[in-house]
Amino acid sequence: MREMGVRELKQSLSATLRAVARGEQVRVTVRGRPLADIVPAGAAVDDGLRELVASGQVTPPARARPKHPPQPASAGTSAAALVRSERDAER
């Protein structure tokens, strides 16, 4: 992994992004301390996840995640009315 400071990154951003698009990984530093890693989109998560699955620490899902989250069901009345009715039922 190549390391570069923020100033160098600013001066060569386009060339650096082209290198990342080719698969190279770049670590950005501030005063010599690591700040961020620039990696190809999805590469870091996928590689790390593959390693965890291979070691048996993570089990892949049995089915794909739904594209859209389920919509909450409508109770037909307001939440305040439900709370009032539960409160009144307890008295």
Find out whether 37 and 1 touch, Cβ atoms under 8 Å: yes
Q: What is the pLDDT of residue 16?
A: 96
Q: Return the residue matching tokens 């919509």.
A: 71
At 5, the amino acid letter reads: G
Digit-coded pLDDT (tens) for 62-76: 888 888 888 887 778
Which CATH code is given to the segment(s) 2-55? 3.40.1620.10
Q: What is the pLDDT of residue 45?
A: 62
The answer to whether residue 8 scores a pLDDT higher than 90 is: yes
Please state, in angstroms and rounded to a whole number, the distance separating the CA atoms of residues 14 and 19. 9
Query: Mean of the pLDDT values across residues 76-87?
Result: 87
Digit-coded pLDDT (tens) for 41-58: 866 566 777 888 889 898
Domain ranges of the chain: 2-55
Digit-coded pLDDT (tens) for 17-35: 999 999 899 999 999 999 9
pLDDT > 90: percent of the chain: 41
